[in-house]
Amino acid sequence: AQSVTQLGSHVSVSEGALVLLRCNYSSSVPPYLFWYVQYPNQGLQLLLKYTTGATLVKGINGFEAEFKKSETSFHLTKPSAHMSDAAEYFCAVIQTGANNLFFGTGTRLTVIP
């Protein structure tokens, strides 16, 4: 069985501050990990993904995430928040050999000017 936990349904940061969105997963085997973003009134789009290889993954819009097997985490970070980053962010995991892509419940990011 596997699940995805996103700590904090709402996160607020000041413009220019560090963004940290947390994601932990439970999986019996190394999974594939994804972050998706949903901007207001838009569909979900891929931000970044980890499958194999380098554990620090860079995505679009300056975001990156690091796969830490020992901590079963895949936290999303950005050094400096921009107003346009305000959106809902979803962590997702698919276990290798499985069919289903499981999503977390999402974290709504608010950027304060």
Residues near other proteins, by CB under 8 A: 9, 32, 34, 36, 42-46, 49, 51, 90, 94, 96, 99-106
Q: Report yes or no: 110 and 11 within 8 Å, Cβ to Cβ.
A: yes
Nearer to other proteins, 20 or 46 (CB): 46
Q: Least distance (Å) from other proteins to the CB of residue 44?
A: 4
Q: Which is nearer to other proteins, 45 or 61 (CB)?
A: 45
Within 13 Å, how many C-alpha atoms sit on residue 88's CB side?
Answer: 12
Nearer to other proteins, 12 or 51 (CB): 51
Please state, as a whole number, how many other Cβ atoms lie within 10 Å of the Cβ of residue 111. 19
CB of 59 to other proteins, least distance (A): 11
Nearer to other proteins, 14 or 96 (CB): 96
Q: In the complex, what is the shortest distance from the CB of residue 78 to other proteins, in angstroms, rounded to a whole number?
A: 19
- Angstrom CA distances, 45 to 53, 54, 60, 91, 97, stand at 23, 22, 10, 12, 23
Q: At closest approach, how far in Å is the CB of 80 from other proteins?
A: 25
Question: Which amino acid makes up residue 39?
Answer: Y
Nearest to 58 by CA among 42, 70, 41, 46: 46
